[in-house]
Amino acid sequence: MLLKCQRDPFLQEFTARVVSCQEVKKGKKKHYEVVLEDTILFAEGGGQPCDHGTLQTLCCDVSAGVQGLNLTQSDSVNVTDVQRKDGTAIHTTNKPVTAESNVKVALDWTRRWDHMQQHTGQHLLSAIAEQQYNMNTVSWNLGLEVCHVELNTTELTDEIREGLQADVNKLIRDGLSVVTSVFSSKEDPGLSSAHTRGLPADHSGPVRVVEIQGVDQNMCCGTHLTNLSQIQMIKLLHTESKRGNTLLYFVCGERLLNTLHSALAIHTSLNSLLTCPPDLFVGQVTKIQKEGKSYKRQAEKLSEELAVMLAATLIQQHGKVMFLQRDEIDAEFSVVLQRQLKEETESRVLLLVSGGTGAAQFMLKGPVELINKFGKEAGTILGGKGGGRDGRFQGKFSDLTKVPAALQFLRDNIS
Ligand SMILES: [Zn+2]
């Protein structure tokens, strides 16, 4: 059966009788599955996502006429999903509605309008790609931000993409009609020239054919615009290879405006950050990246020199325990320091402390027997946890005020 959304895709409100409402539990969560006598909410199919909307219980019989109905606002429930099951649209709601009651079905028109713009745009794009460029559509996707058609080609050049975009936009400007007809079945002889791309595999019964006047005929269960001019404009985006085919991304209508709006907002932000106009962005970023690499190299060199100098001062410290505390000790600095002190730590113990209150690290390095004997206890005095082997013990702690006690413990016991 064709639903009201398919018979009249521009209808935004509708009154229907509730056939059934069933509670469904999934773990701790529950929702309701509502079947209506008829619906203007499209169930996902033919590549088009489902509609969203609301159901609002009416307080009196629909047969009294729409004018005589009063609405009970508190009975409004959200429809968050609509799926087709054996030809019936199942509405998922957050609250129950009463079977046999009448409800006002309200469509989320912004979402539907977007879907119809992308969907009708896809019909046109696929038709022209096939007729003008011999590229057939294998599948398509109406995504949250961008859509794509999967074309059976590996040779979609920039030149072809530009030509395809120009051809499709010309037809949009021409404002050709989009007409939907209904045939008795898929086998109807009048359907010989129509594609079956948009028809669900398990479809039976009457079929709808969506015709772009003089351009294309396509069997499809979805909702469509009535004139190509309503698409407003199409922009073909990037491509991706997929198993011998090409995904061609696109946006139509309001989405194109939203995409442009986002791009311009990024331009404005970059303009402020880079202090140059958009045509100089790439050059400016390239310059900054180059400078960044140069600074990094210089910082690494200076860090290495500092580690070498500090190692020399540590060697000069008295006693068997060498101690260094710095706000930050990165891995490379630590490696250089340990390399410089390799010979020294064969007979002496090194205690390294870095970081700030709440997120500090310590490392002990020295003769295996000394680290095995005192490492764990030094870590306990610091109030931290750690581990290690082969003359190294390291871990994390949070209270820097405990460092002097740990150092004193090591100096008292290692001499
Ligand atoms: Zn369609």
Q: Residue 118 C-alpha to ligand 1 middle, in angstroms?
A: 10
| Short-list 377, 368, 316, CA closest to 345 | 368
Q: Residue 335 C-alpha to ligand 1 middle, in angstroms?
A: 63
Q: Residue 217 C-alpha to ligand 1 middle, in angstroms?
A: 10
Given a contact cutoff of 8 angstroms between Cβ atoms, the answer to whether 104 and 55 are in contact is: yes
Q: In what order do the strands lie in the sheet with 178-183?
A: 178-183, 207-212, 216-220, 195-198
Q: Does residue 95 sit in helix, strand or coil?
A: coil
Rounded distance between C-alpha atoms, residue 181 and residue 203, angstroms: 16
Q: Residue 198 C-alpha to ligand 1 middle, in angstroms?
A: 6
Q: Does residue 411 sit in helix, strand or coil?
A: helix
Q: Residue 54 C-alpha to ligand 1 middle, in angstroms?
A: 24
Q: Give this prediction's pTM.
A: 0.75
Given a contact cutoff of 8 angstroms between Cβ atoms, the answer to whether 11 and 4 are in contact is: yes
Q: Would you state the pLDDT for residue 230? A: 98
Going by the DSSP 8-state scheme, the letter that residue 227 receives in this structure is B
Q: Residue 138 C-alpha to ligand 1 middle, in angstroms?
A: 14
Q: Would you state the pLDDT for residue 368? A: 95
Q: Residue 115 C-alpha to ligand 1 middle, in angstroms?
A: 10
Q: Would you state the pLDDT for residue 200? A: 61
Q: In sequence order, what DSSP letters do the residues of 104-137 get, joined into one string?
A: EEEE-HHHHHHHHHHHHHHHHHHHHHHHHH---E
What top-level class would CATH report for the domain 4-107? mainly beta
Q: Residue 2 C-alpha to ligand 1 middle, in angstroms?
A: 14
* Strand pairing report for 216-220 and 207-212: antiparallel
| Short-list 371, 379, 114, CA closest to 225 | 114
Which CATH entry fits the domain spanning 113-261: 3.20.80.10, 3.40.190.170, 2.40.110.10, 3.30.980.10? 3.30.980.10
Q: Residue 218 C-alpha to ligand 1 middle, in angstroms?
A: 7
Q: In sequence order, what DSSP letters do the residues of 278-330 get, joined into one string?
A: GGGHHHHHHHHHHHHHHHHHHHHHHHHHHHHHHHHHHHHSSSSEEEEEES---
Q: Residue 112 C-alpha to ligand 1 middle, in angstroms?
A: 13
Tell me, yes or no, if the two domains 113-261 and 297-413 fold the same way: no
Q: What angle do CA 68, 41, 141 make, to 5 degrees?
A: 160
Given a contact cutoff of 8 angstroms between Cβ atoms, the answer to whether 43 and 90 are in contact is: yes
Q: Residue 210 C-alpha to ligand 1 middle, in angstroms?
A: 7
Q: Would you state the pLDDT for residue 68? A: 47
Q: Which fold has domain 297-413?
A: Diaminopimelate Epimerase; Chain A, domain 1 (3.10.310)
Q: Does residue 175 sit in helix, strand or coil?
A: coil
Q: In what order do the strands lie in the sheet with 349-356?
A: 321-326, 349-356, 359-365, 392-397, 385-387
One pLDDT digit (tens) per residue for the chain, 415 residues: 688 998 899 999 999 999 999 999 988 899 999 999 999 999 998 889 999 999 999 875 445 455 545 555 557 899 999 999 988 999 999 999 999 999 999 999 999 999 999 999 999 999 999 999 999 999 999 999 999 999 999 999 999 999 999 999 999 999 999 999 888 877 777 776 666 665 666 667 778 899 999 999 988 889 999 999 999 999 999 999 999 999 999 999 999 999 999 999 999 999 999 999 989 999 999 999 999 999 999 999 999 999 999 999 999 999 999 999 999 888 889 999 999 999 999 999 999 999 988 899 999 999 999 999 999 999 999 999 889 999 999 999 999 999 999 999 999 999 8
Rounded distance between C-alpha atoms, residue 23 and residue 18, angstroms: 14
Q: Residue 230 C-alpha to ligand 1 middle, in angstroms?
A: 15
Q: What ranges do the domains of the chain cover?
A: 4-107, 113-261, 297-413
